[in-house]
Amino acid sequence: MSSGPQDPHNWTIDRDSKVPAWAQIEERLVELIESGQLAVGDRLPSERELAAWVGVSRQTARAALDSLARRGLLERGVGRRGTSVARTTLVHDLGEFAGFTEMAQRQGRSATARIHAINELPAPAGVADVLEIAHGDPVYRIARVRLADDEPLTFEDSWVPAARFPGLLDHDMRGSLYQLMRDQYNSAPVRAIERLEPVIAGAEHAQALGIPPGSPLMLLERVAYAADGVPVEFARDHHRGDRAQFVVEVSTGIDR
C-alpha cells in the first residue's frame, strides 16, 4: 500500500471504543475498498507490516484480514501471493435463509437486478407439483440476472403462484423479490429447502452472465415457504462458480 489516504500511518485506533481494534481495522479497509482507493488485485501489507503500521498485535491484524477474507473482500494467499483485494464474490450462508439482496448488503455490496424475462403463464406440471397448485394454474416466471457491485453473479429463475400475489408483475422487479412479497403481500418466505448441484453454463446462462459457455456454475434449486407452510416460490438459481462461496455450519449432535 502506497502513501496517501490509504496509508496505515494515518489510521487511529480508538483504544476507548467498545469496537475491538481488529473490527476498526476491518471497517477502515472496507471503506477503502468501497471508495475505490483499494481496487481489485491491489496488494495489502503483510500481517506483520499492518500490525506495526497501525500499532496493534499481529494477531489483531490477522483477525481483521481473516474476517474480510471470510466476507469475500480479500484473497489470502501464501508466500509472494500475500493478501489482495478480491474480485466480487458472495458468500452464501446455507445455514441462514436470505435472498440475494440481503446477502449482498450484509457483505457491504450493492445489489441490483437486470430483467431477463418476466411473464404469466399456466403452471407446467413439475412447477405446479412443487408449488402445490393445480396443473395449469397461473404462475409468474421471473428470470433475472443478479448483480453485486454491477458485476453479474447469479441467474435467478423463480416461479411464483399468481393467486397468492395478484398484480405482482405491476411492481418494479429490479429490487428484492422477498421484500416485495413481505411489504405488499405480507407473505414473504421464512424458510426454504435448497439443493446444490455443480453444472456447466449453457448458451443462455453464459450470455446472461458474461462468461464463456462451459464455465462452471453452481445450481441452487429452492422451494421457499411462507409462515403458513405453503410454498410461495420455486427457483433454480445458477451462481457463477468463480464468484460464489457456499458455507454451512454442521455439528455431530454428540456431546463431547
- pTM of the predicted model over 0.85: no
CA-based torsion, 163, 169, 171, 176: positive or negative: positive
57-113 residue pLDDT tens: 999 999 999 888 877 778 776 655 678 887 667 878 888 888 898 888 888 778 899
In three-state form (DSSP H/G/I as H, E/B as E, the rest C), the secondary structure along 34-67 is HHCCCCCCCEECCHHHHHHHHCCCHHHHHHHHHH
| Gap between the Cα atoms of 165 and 173, Å rounded | 13
- On whether the CB atoms of residues 100 and 154 are closer than 8 A, the answer is yes
Higher-scoring residue by pLDDT: 147, 108 = 147
Tell me which CATH homologous superfamily contains domain 90-247. Answer: Chorismate lyase-like (3.40.1410.10)
Task: Please give the CATH architecture assigned to the domain spanning 8-85.
Answer: Orthogonal Bundle (1.10)
191-239 residue pLDDT tens: 999 999 999 999 999 999 999 999 999 999 999 999 999 999 999 999 9
Distance of CA 214 to the CA centre of its chain: 22
How confident is the model at residue 246, as a pLDDT? 85
Q: For the chain, give every domain's residue range.
A: 8-85, 90-247
